[in-house]
């Protein structure tokens, strides 16, 4: 049997589809493996190049495969799609990965180590919190507009929310008492969270301390 030099893996949560080929591009095997079976197979296969699409969990997988003595490479999924032949399925995707990796001009994605992954995760969390903060600020502005209070854009004005609300006493008429109280409460809670990271306390509670 020909020696396998290139293995394309279509990653899944619980199963993995492999396409192995030799130096001439001829298919040597196609296999479907569970996670333990995959590591056993790669641990007993002569050193070759293992290629996967860059997706969630792939960096850990690349490090694990490299520890088994294989060379792991990653390709952007957008580039792999160009090489899918026939009907799309898991084995066809694995073969397309091999086809893409065989191109001399192919651009590969660098596998990250644990430190790089941690830094990347922190950046994603920060971006998520920033989007959430912006959403809260926009929501507070929208609530205040419902009661005729228009404030300048940005988060700086939110830090002055208690003073702004004191200047704009919301009319608490019989038909909108609940709505006014809700808008007031939400605005003050958002102000406390965004400004100080503390729980909002009413003037009565503060004066009682």
Give me the domain span that covers residue 133: 115-208
Q: Shortest CA distance to 72 belongs to which of 6, 162, 163?
A: 6
More confident residue, 160 or 32: 32
pLDDT at 174 over 70: no
pLDDT at 41 over 80: yes
More confident residue, 97 or 152: 97
Q: Is residue 185 part of a domain?
A: yes
pLDDT at 180 over 80: no
pLDDT at res. 87: 79
pLDDT at res. 145: 82
Tell me: do 88 and 119 sit in the same domain: no
Tell me: do 28 and 52 sit in the same domain: yes
Tell me: do 95 and 140 sit in the same domain: no
pLDDT at res. 177: 57
More confident residue, 201 or 137: 137
pLDDT at 183 over 80: no
| Complete DSSP assignment for 39-52 | HHHHHHSPS-EEEE
Pick from 112, 129, 163: which residue ends a domain?
Answer: 112
Report, as an integer, the average pLDDT of 96-123: 91
Q: Shortest CA distance to 8 belongs to which of 72, 60, 86?
A: 72
Strands across the sheet containing 6-10: 27-34, 15-21, 6-10, 49-53, 71-75
Tell me: do 104 and 18 sit in the same domain: yes
Tell me: do 123 and 96 sit in the same domain: no
Interval 89-101: pLDDT, tens: 899 999 999 999 9
Pick from 91, 112, 133: which residue ends a domain?
Answer: 112
pLDDT at res. 164: 66
Q: Residue 18 maps to which CATH number?
A: 3.30.420.140
| Complete DSSP assignment for 150-179 | ---SSSHHHHTHHHHHHHSPPP--TTSHHH
Tell me: do 19 and 103 sit in the same domain: yes
More confident residue, 16 or 184: 16
Tell me: do 105 and 174 sit in the same domain: no
Residue 179: other Cβ atoms inside 10 A: 15
Pick from 87, 112, 137: which residue ends a domain?
Answer: 112
pLDDT at res. 127: 92
Q: Is residue 1 part of a domain?
A: no
Number of domains making up the chain: 2
Q: What DSSP designation does 146 have?
A: T
Tell me: do 103 and 136 sit in the same domain: no
- Report the C-alpha gap between 137 and 187 in whole angstroms: 9
């Amino acid at each position: 049997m020909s020696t396998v030099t290139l293995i394309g893996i279509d990653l899944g949560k619980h199963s993995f589809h492999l396409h192995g080929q030799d130096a001439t591009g001829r298919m040597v095997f196609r296999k479907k493996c569970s996670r333990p079976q995959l590591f056993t197979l790669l641990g007993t296969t002569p050193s070759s190049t293992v290629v996967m699409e860059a997706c969630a969990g792939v960096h850990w997988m690349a490090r694990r495969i490299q520890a088994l003595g294989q060379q792991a490479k990653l390709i952007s999924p957008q580039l792999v799609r160009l090489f899918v032949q026939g009907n799309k399925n898991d084995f066809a995707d694995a073969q397309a990965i091999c086809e893409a990796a065989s191109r001399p001009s192919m651009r590969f994605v660098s596998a990250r180590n644990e430190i790089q992954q941690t830094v990347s995760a922190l950046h994603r969390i920060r971006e998520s919190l920033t989007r959430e903060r912006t959403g809260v600020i926009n929501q507070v502005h929208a609530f205040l507009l419902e009661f005729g209070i228009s404030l300048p854009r940005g988060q700086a004005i939110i830090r002055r929310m208690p003073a702004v609300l004191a200047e704009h006493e919301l009319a608490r008429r019989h038909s909108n008492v609940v709505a006014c109280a809700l808008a007031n409460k939400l605005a003050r809670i958002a102000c406390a969270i965004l400004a100080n990271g503390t729980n909002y306390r009413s003037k009565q509670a503060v004066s009682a301390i």
